[in-house]
Structure 1
């Protein structure tokens, strides 16, 4: 983020206790966008400038930034245990598993990691940046990505695809099946 934008966001954080609900929601969205590009920068900005009087719940990715740095960041090539998120019921921050596919938006990026929100479980999946095959745009934060580890998750390769393309292909295939089925149904009625 540019220093001017940083200063504007810092000023908004310092006066967060004076904001209306709509302004708080806009600030929350701005923090989410910033965290998707620079998670540690967003966390540092909130820690330094968030008003103590503000009753603002930070985005989940910013809340877990200290745990991410301590538990995962420096040890991405080794298997690490999952970390329970006590402020989110039945949620974890964990590394990917082999043979699994994770679908959801990227909620944070750090120098070594990409943090993805798994839509199926609600968990935060910590991927090693060096293992991801397809580059992605951090600006496309709201877009869902599918990250699949066909062989080995830790030290292996994660295949990244955009979910929109898969959904369009699936929709096209199902439409083709529906058209084929509708063509075959009248011929069945004639034979009866």
Structure 2
């Protein structure tokens, strides 16, 4: 995310300030090699671009930032909020914002989010801090860069001695493929197998 948020372009090489506006589980793809890709930039906007239909809110309501749901000005920190929703849901195992549209908007704007430790006993404190910082109501209180979030998540993984990375993820995907009757990818077979 940091890449497209801070991408430079145009004649002067200034930041384009690209905002995806639709970060959600369906737009996050894990490749066979274990890398996470953000897809579907169909509603993404660069600085200065507006929407043709101002009456419609682009994106999936359950994954919007409060400022996006309120039709206020958004920037890259809106995407960080949306990613925080995804992180909350995959680490807690519970949908954060669900229900009829009006109810979801009200929850987003009132912003009463139960911390993960209230929902799941034993939830790691450092991970909760990162997730809840993404979900701060005011953009200025959130991570100011996706790179800063990535640094904190990597530090959490190191301190918790949870080893991750593309190779481990690729092997895990391979195990899922085998479990569902598929074949093992030859490049993932170790010398001991």
Give the TM-score of the pair, scaled to structure 2. 0.27
Relative to total residues, which structure has the larger strand share, 1 or 2?
1
Larger RCO, structures 1/2 (Cα 8 Å, 6+ apart)? 2
Give the TM-score of the pair, scaled to structure 1. 0.27
